Structure formats: C-alpha cells, structure tokens
Chains A and B, each alone.
Chain A
Amino acid sequence: MKGKTVFLSLLAIVLAMVLILAPACSSKTTTSASTPQVLRINLGGEPDTIDPNQAAWAPDLTLIGQCFEGLLSFKTDGTLTPDIATVIPSTSNGGISSDGLTITFHLKTNVTWSDGTPVTANDFVYSIVREVSPVLACPYASFYFNIVGAQAYYSSGNDTPDQQAALAAAVGVSAPDNYTLVIKLNSPQETILDCMALWAVYPEKASVINQYGNSWTDPPNYIGDGPYILTTWTHQTELVLKPNPNYWGTKPKLAEIDMMEITDANAALAAYLNNQLDIVGVPIGDIKTYMNDSSYANQRLLVNQLGTFALQFNVDQAPFNNVLVRQAFACAIDRNAFVSDVLDGVGKVTTSWIPPGMPGYDANAGSQYAFNVTKAKQLLAQAGYSDVSKLPAITYTYANDTNDTTIAQFLQGQLKTNLGINITLNPEESNTFQSNVNAGNFQFAWFGWLADYPDPDDWLLSEFTTGGGVNQTHYSNPSFDTLAKTAETDLDNTTRLSDWAQAQTMMLADVPLAPIYNSETFALVKPWVKGLDASDIDYSIPGDRFYTLVSIASH
C-alpha cells in the first residue's frame, strides 16, 4: 500500500511536468503565406538612456538613429549629406562666414515630428543648449565647447539657477526665423559640421520634455522626427518600433523592428539559432566555428569598424619615459599572430593609428615600428638595456574580463619569447582599471578608440595634445601641439588633412602607443534579410543607420 502511494505521487509529479511542457511543444514555428516585415535584432542590454542629448553608448544610438534625424548625416563612405538642413553649409554657399565663426543652417520646411507638428530651428536651439546644460551633464557636451558660451554654461554646476539661466541665454545658438539656425563659434572649426551630424544635437521637442520630465522617453511620449517611432519599451526585455506615419522622407519597408535586450552574447547566439533573431554578433569563443562551417556561408558578414586597438605607454613612468624602450616594445609584438591567435582572424593588423576608411588614412604610417625582433633588440641595446634584466620592473595593467585577459597573456608571451622580458600582469576590475588609467596609475595598458565621427581630429586632438582631455599616455610634444593647433582651426580641408597626417607621423615616431589592429564586426545574418547596408559607420549592429532600406524575404 505505502509503496503504491509514493509511486503514484512520483507519477503525478512527472505528469505535471509533462503538462507544463506540452503546450509549449506545440507552439513550433509556422510559416505563413505573407512574410511579416519584422526585423529582430539584439541591442545587448537595456539602454543607458534613449534621450539623444544624453546618449553615449553605441547600442542606444542604434535605437535613437531610427527615431530621430538631425541637420546632417553620414553616408557609408563617411562623407556628410544634408538631412533636415537644405544644404551643407560651406564658405562658398555662405553657410560658413568668411571668418569661419558663424555657421548658418537653412532647414527644410516639410519636416514634422511624429505627432505631426513641424520641426523648426527652435527645436535645434533647445537641443543644443540642453546638450551643454550643467543639469544634465551630457557626456558628449565637450564636442560643442567651441560654440560661444557653451563651456561656461556646462561648467556652472555649482552656480545659482539665475546665474545658470543667464549663461544658458548666452550660448551662441539662435533661430532668426523658424527655418534658419545660426551658430556662433569661438574659433573656426571644419569638423563642427561632423559634430552637428551627431545624435547629441538631434532636435528635441521642448514641450514634451517639459511636460513629462524624465519619462518623456517612455512611449508614447517619445516624440521624434525619424522614420520609426518607439511603440513599446518593456524594460530589460525589448523595444518595439513601428513606422512613423508622419515621417517626411521615404517610408521604411519594414512594418516593425524588434530590439531585444539579451545581455549574454551566447544567449543571443542561441536565440539566433532558434530563429528568434535575424542578426547576431558572433561571440569570441564561437568565431572559428562559424567562420569555417560551410552551412553558414550565406549568413556570414564581416564589416570594418572605424576602430584601432593599441598598446599604450605611460610616458611619465620608467622605463617607458625612454622613447627607445617604447619603440622596442612596438617592434616586439607579432601583430599577425595577435589577429589569428587572440581574435581568431576577426580584425586587421595595423601600425597606423588612424584606421582605414577615414580621411587622412596612411597605410604606411608607423610601419618603421612593425614587428621586427632584431630591430627591437637593437633599440633596447641603444636604450642601454642589452641585458634586459637591468630593466625596471614592468607591470601590464588590464581589465579582468575574458578578452583582455587573453590579450594580456598573449602580450606577456610575446615579450618573453621575443625580448626575454618578464612582465607582471595586473588584472583589475573593469571600472577600477578605467579610473586608474584616467589617473595615470599604470605603466602600460590596452587602449582602443572607435570613431565618433570620421575625421582625424577625433583621433589626435584630445588624445595626444599636451594636457588634452583624454590624453592618458601624458604624451607631450610642442611641435605636435603646434600642428594640431593649426589643423584644428583650418577650414581648408587639403592643408588640414595634410597637417593631421604629419601630426600622426610625428606622434607615431614617438610611440606613446603602438597600434596593433583595426577592429571588425563578425555577425550572422539570416538569408531572408534583404537590403542590409552595413559599413564602418554602423552604430552597433550591421546596417543600423539604414534600416529604412531593409525588407524581409519570404522564408
């Protein structure tokens, strides 16, 4: 009797589990006659913010780019094209004054918000002033410090509200009429046009933000002027976008974009394999499998990024205060082995800091310090270290995630094998690592830069001028500073780019950093995704600047 009871209860449990599982089993994928025009992608997590002024994180831009449009935008080749502006301002069309200090944008008159009201120059004035407001402390505000009064307003965080209001009113942007926007600069700047094409100064609708405060980004409050509108935001799960019925431009082909928020790269890959996603980035551990498996041949997509990764040296700390030691280290790293061993082939070796695909790119830049063990040893000998045991202790500091640990071990092996130098590895929790590098508490470390906009001044100015905003190597060279100063305010593109090229050559000869590789995106795309226009200006997902062109074929 007793045995039977127990056995029956066990059976009941098993049955219960089958019942739970059964309805799910029947819901297999079905193919319908008309293919739903839905694109499903993975943002990789919950956006930090989808407020264009405050955004900085690439996946957030993937979303913002669908819902907003600015004065200008980038084409796949990195050049500018007018969006809401009628033309790109230039000195010849009068958009840029002869002294280069006044930029005038004329706006199209048929552009509307997703609620049907017109987009005017005042929306841009509001957005630009808001971008440099101390209350929001927007991360990209420094890109607009050349606008008259912008930096003073941004840095007034400890002032009274009255003082702040006066500073806000003094910011040099104005709208003489509804379709004219005038921007006053402190000094001439060719790349201000690139900056005006960034998400950070997309127009924002003041009435919506004033009414809803922080929750203006919740649908349906999220009013934009782009081809799509955000209809649902299920936090930490997904964002759903539908075409904007009031969009002024060419209507998108897709009826819906689903942006999933799967944080784990392997979980995203599983979702792709289970047909829950149409595009997925391949996680580092799986690259070889999908690179070689012929059944994925029609799904593979390899796209260049405007990104360079490098070994950076703190030029204040021994032994890297000696340029010869830095040069020797640059020559000691086998970049081909790096790309094949660490990156599984996804990436391209480089010695240039400015990546290919950018104006001013020179494939030969820095090539004198390409991988060359003999030269590395000679340079060390010249530095007085023919006996490497005389070198001071050297520590490589890195963020303790999987990728950076692999990189650290590779570099340690290279320096040991090629030069006989033993370095100590110092893994730090990622945020700690970042702040230590910012503070100059490191000897040498890994450094990567991805373009904000395709121009060399984004790669050289604040990174390598003396006291520059993100100069982590503490590199300082007066000749470089002079060149950078000239190029920064030069409105002639030919001389400007040649100055930057010369500046890069000068910097690379001093090796504050040793470029190792240019990054690439390796993704899988379902064969039914048509019209994807992937390029090196993608935000975070292949083709995400041009989803209006995408359609879904029957499958």
Chain B
Amino acid sequence: MTRFVIRRVLWLLLVLLIISLVTFLLMHLVPGGPWAKGKPLPPAVIAAINAKYGLNKPLYIQYAKYLWGILHGDLGISYSYQDRSVTQIIMQSFPKSAILGGIAFILALIVGISLGMAAALRQNTWVDYVCVMFSTIFASVPGFVLGILLVIVFSVILHWLPSGGWGTPSDLVLPVIALAALPAAYIARITRASTLETIRQDYVRTARSKGLLERNVLIRHILRNALIPVVTISGPEFAALVTGSFIVETIFSIPGIGRLFVSSVFARDYGLIMGTTLFYAFIISVANLVVDILYAVIDPRIRYD
C-alpha cells in the first residue's frame, strides 16, 4: 500500500509537469496578450508591459523562470489583479469554493444515496417513481437554469434569501442547492442501479437465509457493496465541486476560484491561468488517489501490491 501511494505521488509530479508545459505552450499559442483589453494602448505602452512581465524573452526562458519560481513556492504574478500575487489569489478564493463545494458534496451524497437506496428497495412502487422522477429532472436541468430559478423565487419574489454574496450562512443556501442538485441526481441513479444489482446477489440471499437481521443485511451486505460505483464517481465529483463552478459562482457572486479559472483565460492572465490550472490538476489527482485508497477500505477484495 505504501509503495503504491509513493508510486502514485511520483506519477502525480510528472503529470503536473506535463500539464504545466502543455498549458504554457497552449496559452502562448492563443493570439492576444494581457494588454489587449479595454482601450487600445499605444505601442510604447505595450512594449513596456511586455518588458515588465518578461514577455519579450524567448518562451523557453519564460517557462524555465516559471518552473524556478514554483520550486520556490512562488506561482508568479497576476496581470489582471495587480495588487495580489497568484498564490495570494488562490489562497483567498479556493477556501470559499471549497466550503461551498464541500457542503454541496455532502448534501448530494446524503440526498443521492438515500433516494437511490429507497428507489431500489421499493422498486416499481410510488417511492421508486418519485425518486426516478427527481433524479431525471435534476439531471437534465442545467445549473444556470436552476440557479436563476432559485434567485427569482427565493430572492426577487419572496425576499427570503440574498440573491448572492458571501459572508453569512444564508448566502450559502441557494448556491449549495444549485450545486448539489446535479450530483445528487447522478448519485441517486447510480446508487439505485447498483443496489438493484446487489440485492440479487447470492451473498445477499445467503445472508437473509442464515437469518441475519434485515438491518444488518441492508447495511453490511447491500449498502457496502452497492456503494463501490458511488465511490468511483464521488472522487472526480468532489474535485469538481470543491474547485468551484464558473456558472454558480457567477450567478451568486461567490468569490471563488471557479470564476477566476475561466476569466483568467479571457484576460490572458498568464500567471493566473498557470496557477489555477496546476492547482486544479493537483486537486483532481489527489481526489483520485484518495478514491483508489478508499476502494481497498470498502472492498477487501481490492489489494494494491
């Protein structure tokens, strides 16, 4: 197990290096630059800005300088938010996305697994139909539709909740629901399908026939086995949720990292593009690693040697 983890961490470093190189090349291949926004600037100013950010140097030197900076824990400077460094920006915005995404993830797990189990155990009854209807609706309504709908109903019409912002717990309610709806529906469908498969397994019949309590059969034999596919998808799902959603953060004015990731590309904010991309890659790789370790915990048949 330890050897497996060490090997995976080494791979992670290689993956990050390759991602940094590809991102660096791609973003410099795209036409434009940090000065091409708003009013047109005279050539003397463009030249000075390029000199300031070292953009007049050959690409390999720029890349080497960037890697050297990372080795010293410096992710560089942002061109669009000049008063802060990239590291500061990520450290200030990621926790907000993570809190929001973390709560949404937990909510999605609770709602999704409950609905999925309920539907499977009561297959072809009204419980099943309601659960399937729920998951179908929320799996097909895009986040921006649901988000705007929530704002119109709960803020603009009813004035119950703020339409956006950050600071009080009430600010979290609508974005958490908007974020959790899709993964909850997805998890519900997967849980339902895998539970249906599990309850038809021989070991479940054996467990029942040897007279185990129904509660024990449910939790120890059905739930535990049915959850493996859920664990598989929850890794990437968790990574996606905690790294923020551009749409939900824009609708609800959440000061998270999801918005920065997208806007940095449009602004040609090379420092922030590199910083957020590497950060994303890191979070996703770590989430996948955790999932692989969780497999072994849940399913004793899975071993890493």
Contact = CB atoms under 8 A, between A and B. Distances in A.
B30 to A, nearest CB: 7
Contacts of A214: 82-85
Interface stretch (A65-73, A195-203, A265-273, A290-298): A265-273
Contacts of B81: 46-49
Most chain-A Cβ atoms within 10 A of its Cβ — which of B39, B156, B263? B39
Interface in A423-441: 429-432, 434-438
B32 A435 contact: yes
Interface string B196-214: 0000000000000000001
A267 B252 contact: yes
Interface residues of B, number: 70
Interface in B88-135: 89, 92-93, 110-111, 114-115, 117-118, 121-122, 127
B18 to A, nearest CB: 25
A151 interface: yes
Interface residues of A, number: 75
A13 B107 CA distance: 9
B122 A273 contact: no
B83 A50 contact: yes
Contacts of B52: 134-137, 157
B26 interface: no
Contacts of B46: 438
B151 A9 contact: no
A446 interface: no
B160 interface: yes
A169 B33 CA distance: 32
Contacts of B164: 262, 267, 270-271
Nearest to A262: B253
B165 to A, nearest CB: 7
Interface in B198-254: 214, 218, 250-253
A260 interface: yes
Contacts of A264: 250-251, 253
Interface in A136-180: 136-137, 139, 141-142, 145, 151, 154-155, 157-158
Interface string B15-47: 000000000000000111101111111111111
Contact of A263 (B93, B155, B163, B250): B250
A267 B251 contact: yes
A237 interface: yes
B122 A267 contact: no
B83 A274 contact: no
Contacts of A262: 164, 253
B266 interface: yes
A24 interface: yes
B73 interface: no
Nearest to B83: A217
A47 B84 CA distance: 11
A271 B163 contact: yes
B296 to A, nearest CB: 28
A102 interface: no
B114 A276 contact: no
A27 interface: yes
A261 interface: yes
Contacts of B45: 137, 139, 141-142, 469
B8 interface: no
Contacts of A431: 31-33, 36-37, 266-268
Interface stretch (A51-59, A375-383, A488-496, A497-505): A51-59
Interface in B146-198: 148, 151-152, 155-156, 159-167, 169-170, 173
Nearest to A462: B42
A469 B31 contact: no
B173 A24 contact: yes
A270 B155 contact: yes
A217 B155 CA distance: 34
A180 to B, nearest CB: 30
Nearest to A58: B38
Contacts of B121: 2, 6
B119 to A, nearest CB: 9
Contacts of A21: 160-161, 173
Most chain-A Cβ atoms within 10 A of its Cβ — which of B52, B81, B82, B117? B82
A20 B89 CA distance: 30
29 contacts: A2-B218, A3-B127, A10-B115, A21-B161, A23-B169, A46-B81, A51-B82, A54-B82, A139-B49, A141-B45, A141-B48, A142-B45, A151-B44, A155-B44, A157-B47, A157-B51, A214-B85, A234-B167, A236-B260, A237-B253, A238-B165, A263-B263, A264-B251, A267-B252, A270-B156, A270-B163, A271-B165, A431-B31, A434-B36
Given A9-B118, A142-B41, A155-B44, 14 more contacts: A6-B121, A13-B114, A57-B38, A137-B48, A155-B48, A157-B51, A236-B93, A237-B255, A274-B162, A276-B163, A431-B37, A431-B267, A434-B36, A470-B39
